[in-house]
């Protein structure tokens, strides 16, 4: 186990939802220098207010597809957190862009990491690689039943990491987060998450919309827990492996909607039901967390109701939607 105290770190997509939370935790862990590469399309400077105030963070507005830029930022870096990606819905609507950003972007990172002798790359994969589950809970050996472009690209990213480990001895871990929620979720973008759309409608006196009958379940994990898992992965001696990051509890959309209505002060609000959408039509998600617990010592700390209260508090502040 190696400490991040004094480490020099690069975070691609570091101004985004998860990347900015990683930056905050790196500051608290004593990292000496954090370079963040972000095109600020999904991310924002506001997300980095705490980290930037430490004066140990440099934000570079740029594109992960720029190989020369990525290489120039990699010199002297100890650990890379690769978070750059497009949302699943965005991938479906702009497949060529998605492939370019997620495939070429990662390859630029891996080429530069290999060239400059980076100690470890910790990359964001996704539970989307599993698709419709063949069994529950879903462990890391579950087959790839994915039928989305986003999931296909994430599978490809995992394979690229493995190939570079074989070719050049790259040390890496990939994490497969399940359904991440919490403060700094994208509010104003075109491809917002279901919780944000519900919060927006509830705040405007409208009914939240559920696509389907609401029986589909997800494994919700708070972003702070996810960020902590990334740091544990960076500090671990483990390499050449993948880990689920989930709560180990499944919650139906009907339950989630009811919880959010209560936290927003409108417990009697009723959802509006619409036909299921074709993007990512997965009926159930439930993570097996045994592997990450045994290898990295990770246990989720934030329960769903506590986490939803945190999300609603943030949403109601100037930093959120109001």
Residues belonging to the active site: 150
For every residue of 249-295, DSSP letters joined together read --EEHHHHHHHHHHHTT-TT--PEEEPPPSSS------B--HHHHHH
CA dist 82 to 54, 73, 307, Å? 22, 13, 25
Residues 6+ apart with CB under 8 A from 192: 185, 186, 200
Residues 6+ apart with CB under 8 A from 249: 219, 220, 286, 304
CB 63 within 8 A of CB 69: yes
The 3 state secondary structure assigned to 164-209 is HHHHHCCCEEEEEECEEECCCCCCCCCCCCHHHHHHHHHHCCCCCE
DSSP symbol at 103: I
């Amino acid at each position: 186990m190696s400490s991040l105290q004094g480490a020099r770190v690069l975070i691609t997509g570091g101004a985004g939802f998860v990347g900015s939370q990683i930056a905050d935790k790196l500051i608290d862990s004593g990292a000496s220098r954090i370079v963040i590469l972000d095109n600020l399309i999904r991310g924002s400077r506001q997300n980095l207010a705490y980290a930037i105030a430490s004066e140990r963070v440099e934000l570079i507005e740029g594109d992960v597809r720029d190989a020369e830029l990525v290489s120039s930022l990699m010199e002297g870096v100890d650990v890379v957190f690769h978070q750059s990606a497009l949302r699943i819905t965005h991938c479906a609507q702009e497949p060529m862009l998605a492939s370019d950003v997620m495939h070429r972007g990662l390859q630029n990172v891996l080429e530069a990491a290999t060239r400059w002798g980076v100690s470890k790359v910790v990359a964001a994969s996704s539970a989307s690689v599993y698709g419709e589950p063949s069994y529950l809970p879903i462990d890391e050996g579950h087959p790839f039943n994915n039928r989305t472009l986003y999931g296909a690209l994430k599978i490809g990213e995992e394979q690229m990491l493995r190939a570079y480990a074989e070719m050049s001895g790259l040390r890496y871990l990939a994490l497969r987060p399940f359904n991440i929620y919490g403060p700094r979720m994208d509010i104003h973008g075109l491809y917002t998450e279901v919780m944000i759309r519900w919060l927006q409608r509830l705040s405007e006196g409208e009914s939240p919309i559920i696509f389907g009958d609401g029986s589909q379940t997800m494994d919700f994990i708070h972003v702070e827990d996810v960020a902590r898992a990334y740091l544990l992965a960076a500090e671990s001696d483990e390499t050449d492996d993948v880990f689920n990051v989930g709560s180990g509890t499944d919650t139906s959309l009907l339950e989630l909607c009811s919880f959010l209505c209560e936290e927003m002060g409108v417990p009697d609000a009723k959802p509006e039901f619409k036909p299921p959408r074709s993007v990512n039509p997965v009926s159930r998600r439930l993570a097996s967390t045994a592997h990450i617990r045994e290898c990295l010592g990770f246990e989720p700390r934030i329960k769903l109701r506590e986490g939803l209260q945190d999300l609603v508090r943030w949403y109601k502040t100037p930093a959120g939607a109001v």
